[in-house]
Amino acid sequence: MSSKLQTPIDYLKGVGPNRANLLRSELGIHTYQDLLNLFPNRYIDKTQYYTISQLQPTSADVQIIGKVTHIKTAGEGRSKRLVATFIDQTGAMELVWFKGLKWIRESLKINVPYVAFGKVQRFGSSYSIAHPDLELLEEHKKGLRIAMQPVYPSTEKLSNRGITNRVMNGLMQTLFQEVHKSIEESLSESIRNALKLIPRREAYLNIHFPQQQETLAKAQFRLKFEELFFIQLQLLVKNQLHKQKIKGYAFEAIGDYFTTFYNEHLPFELTGAQKRVVKEIRNDLGKPAQMNRLLQGDVGSGKTIVALMTMLIALDNNFQACLMAPTEILAIQHFQGISELCEKLDLKIALLTGSSKTKERREIHQSLEDGSLHILIGTHALLEDKVKFKNLGLAVIDEQHRFGVAQRSKLWHKNELPPHILIMTATPIPRTLAMSVYGDLDVSVIDELPPGRKAIKTVHRYDNNRLKVFGFIRDEIKKGRQIYVVYPLIQESEALDYKDLMDGYESIAREFPMPDYQISIVHGQMKPADKDYEMNRFVNGETQIMVATTVIEVGVNVPNASVMIIESAERFGLSQLHQLRGRVGRGADQSYCILMTGHKLSEDSKTRLQTMTQTNDGFEIAEVDLKLRGPGDIMGTQQSGVLNLKIADIVKDNEVMKIARNYASALLKEDPQLAQPENLPVRKTYAQVMKFKNIWNYIS
């Protein structure tokens, strides 16, 4: 990559200091290379001229050759406009301007051939174009005829300051004349031949100045592949380095704890997926490098038992293990679940949360340091400096996206060598995103539910079916089951007619009166102690119905609850709906999820509800969610900048990403140091990418 491409944008002919400042602040363009990588977001096909009689009211931009015969001003005040009559041999139409009237009026020439270009609108039987691009026919013939005209990203400020699309096109042409010889190849010949990729210089030329659709498609594929290829290369190299550099304890023994548990105390036969994942983890733990593995599995797929078996391997090698959860409720549940599973093993397990009493804490600190405590489960409290382990060998982190990077790194420093890390998540990350954002973690997936679990039946009902739904609830309560009713809002919002939680609570209390029925209510404005009291009444079966806002989303385990009713379901995102549905279906009984909505639904809402009723597969749901919301939203704001891609789209170019990952991975297997002569272009580009665009360091 030549140094010419690193020239500051100020030096490009036609830019100057003012424009340079605007390009920097509005589009982040600092150098020639930044401008070269400003790709058009659409193209206008100027290969065809229309006559007025051929016009159709479509949204396409068209060009027409004709003459202006009359000009008049119409309207008053804000609706004042300039209207020109434009004719060709087949008919007449109007050109209209609402801004810059004086200047346009002075510059328009009457009865001289022009090319008018813009979007056509129809009023009655006549057509008009508002704010057309007008070019004298003789100038038009002289211009560099680009068959398809690129339209570049812009902002209001740029257009107001006169940096129009035409100006951007001009700057691109100037830039190309200066730098086209400096565009070097970035991929090896074998990759280019295998994928029939056009040369890099040609790709840049055809993306900015395409002559036809076919060459444009080749240019786009080449540049998308390249962008994704170097991202995958960075992630894979990072993973390799992690394995070489970050030493870990090799757990060579599989001893009594693990084998006794596996042979005698497993509550059920492991699924094929669980066995596969345990094998992947055992394989990692046997090596002297730190394990860094993401364990994905839907709600109820049995991640906890896999985590426990991993902990037992650590104990068999004379190490301690810990499990960190994002909330106290979840930590308590893990503690209860794991204590129950280990009842017959001679193990010491403790729970540490913000509410642990000072005396308990002292005992925990003491037994951690003398090594008599085997497993510590808790919340952020585990990160406090006072918490010192004798020898921590494994840290399991539940729902890691709720912990910051700095918090996680604290766990590392509890030992001389970092513990092995197993991250668990029930929020399925679409494979597309997992490949790009968690590309430096090894990923294990539990993709089948334990036997005996029945799939949850999901239905969509409108508000006017409410009485039937109430009848259904009565029948389920008669069978001894419990019900969740979840609301999106707690305060009435005037503009929206959503039934708010209190209204809902009252109407349910009328339908299900005391003393025959008991109802719990939980929402965000309650004191934590009151919340816990209500939650516990429901968990212990003292109340049959739990009316709540989404505070119950994460990890409440009530096997007896068999119905989840989600009110105003159209207001929830897909992943939220899926998480909520996962609160039922935890026992052996058939469970149900009922999505209640009004009749007015947007297209996206319909897609979400349909997806929920059609599938229980979290990964499929996550893929649809990614398409609807885009990657930024799903990763949460702190990581939305992660993939500031220039041309590829992580969702639409999913297939290209897979190809790029396979090629990057094959290349590193063959030539880990990129030292072979034919890989020199890759090595040079990789070095540049790492130097100028290191956006990956803060991800994992």
Average pLDDT of the chain is 84
CB atoms within 10 A of CB 48: 9
Average pLDDT of the segment spanning 409-437 = 74
Across 254-268, 300-314, 409-423, 659-673, least confident range: 409-423
Q: What is the homologous superfamily of the domain 256-285+301-425 according to CATH?
A: P-loop containing nucleotide triphosphate hydrolases (3.40.50.300)
CATH 2.40.50.140 range(s) for the chain read 47-145
DSSP per residue, 606-632: HHHHHHHHH---HHHHHHHHHHHHHHH
Cα–Cα dist 154/477, whole Å: 59
Select the CATH number that applies to the domain covering 457-615 from these four: 3.40.50.920, 3.40.50.300, 3.40.50.11060, 3.30.460.10: 3.40.50.300
How far is the C-alpha of 146 from the C-alpha of 187, rounded, in Å?
Answer: 28
Helices (H), 180-267: 189-195, 200-208, 213-245, 256-260
Of the candidates 349, 356, 357, 360, which has an alpha carbon nearest to the alpha carbon of residue 380?
A: 356
**23-47 pLDDT tens trace:** 999 998 999 999 999 999 888 777 7
Reply yes or no on whether the pLDDT at 415 is more than 80: no
CA distance 370 to 367: 5
What does the pLDDT look like over 190-245, one tens digit per residue?
A: 999 999 999 999 999 999 988 877 888 899 999 999 999 998 898 888 878 877 87
For the ranges 12-26, 176-190, 412-426, 495-509, the lowest mean pLDDT is seen at 495-509
Give residue for tokens 């094929």: 272
176 CB neighbour count, 10 Å cutoff: 16
Mean pLDDT of the 405-434 span: 73
Q: Phi and psi at residue 418, in whole multiples of 5°? A: -65, 145
Report DSSP letters for 312-339, one per residue: HHHHHTT-EEEEE-SSHHHHHHHHHHHH
CA distance linking residue 376 with residue 347, whole number of Å: 11
8-state DSSP, 47: S
- Helix intervals (H) in 127-199: 137-142, 156-160, 165-179, 189-195
* CATH 3.40.50.300 domain range(s) in the chain: 256-285+301-425, 457-615
pLDDT band at 494 (very low <50, low <70, confident <90, very high): very low
- Structure confidence at residue 439 (pLDDT): 63
Say what the pLDDT of residue 135 is.
87
User: Which ranges in 253-357 belong to alpha helices (H)?
Assistant: 256-260, 272-285, 303-316, 328-341
Please say whether the beta carbons of 199 and 226 come within 8 A.
no
Q: Are strands 592-597 and 561-566 parallel, antiparallel or unpaired?
A: parallel
Contacts 24+ apart (CB under 8 A), 7-14: 7/31, 7/32, 9/34, 9/35, 12/171, 12/174, 12/175, 12/178, 13/174, 14/167, 14/170, 14/171, 14/174
Cα end-to-end span (Å), the chain = 29
DSSP state of 264: I
Check pLDDT > 50 for residue 621.
yes
pLDDT higher than threshold 90 for residue 83: yes
Percent of the chain with pLDDT over 90: 42
- pLDDT computed for residue 47 by the predictor: 73
Distance from chain centroid for Cα 273? 25
| Res 586: pLDDT | 76
Highest mean pLDDT among 101-105, 397-401, 668-672, 688-692: 668-672
For residue 551, the model assigns a pLDDT of 54
> What pLDDT is recorded for position 433?
67
Q: What are the Cα distances from residue 514, in Å, to 332, 543, 545?
A: 31, 11, 12
Looking at the chain, the whole-number percentage of residues with pLDDT higher than 70 is: 88
DSSP letter for 453, please: P
- Domain 47-145: give its CATH architecture: Beta Barrel (2.40)
User: Is residue 384 predicted with pLDDT exceeding 90?
Assistant: no
92, β-bridge pairs: 87
Whether residue 71 is predicted with pLDDT greater than 80 in this model: the reply is yes
**Alpha-carbon dihedral 200, 201, 207, 208, rounded to 10 degrees:** 150
Q: Please compute Rg for the chain using Cα positions.
A: 32
∠ CA 367-409-575, rounded to 5°: 105
pLDDT at residue 634 is higher than 50: no
**Residues 6+ away with beta carbon under 8 Å from 515:** none
Q: What is the 3-state secondary structure (H, E, C) of 509-538?
A: HHHCCCCCCCEEEECCCCCHHHHHHHHHHH
**Which pLDDT score, from 0 to 100, does residue 647 have?**
84
Which residue in 467, 468, 500 sits closest to 486, CA to CA? 500
- What integer pLDDT is reported at residue 637 of this predicted model? 33
Quote the pLDDT of residue 165. 87
Examine the pLDDT at 125 and tell me if it is beyond 50.
Answer: yes
> Over the stretch 518-553, which tens digit does the pLDDT of each residue have?
999 887 677 878 888 888 898 889 999 998 876 554
pLDDT for residue 491 is more than 80: no
Interatomic CA distance for residues 216 and 613, integer angstroms: 40
C-alpha–C-alpha distance, residues 315 and 537, integer Å: 36
Residue 220 has φ and ψ, to the nearest 5°, of -65, -45
In whole angstroms, what separates CA 507 from the centre of its chain? Answer: 38
- Strand intervals (E) in 75-186: 81-88, 91-97, 113-123, 126-130, 133-136, 148-151
pLDDT tens-place string over residues 137-156: 888 887 655 567 888 988 88
Rounded distance between C-alpha atoms, residue 26 and residue 515, angstroms:
65
Cα separation, 263 vs 257, in Å, equals 10
CB 307 within 8 A of CB 424: yes
Plot region of 97 (φ>0 → left; ψ -120 to 50 → alpha; else → beta): beta
Q: What is the pLDDT of residues 563-617, one digit of tens each?
A: 999 998 998 888 788 888 888 887 778 999 999 999 888 888 999 999 999 988 8
**Distance between CA atoms of 646 and 689, rounded to whole angstroms?**
13
With a cut of 80, say whether residue 695 has pLDDT above it: no
What single letter denotes the amino acid at residue 274?
A: Q
483: tokens are 């019900």
Taking alpha carbons only, the member of 469, 502, 468 closest to residue 487 is 502
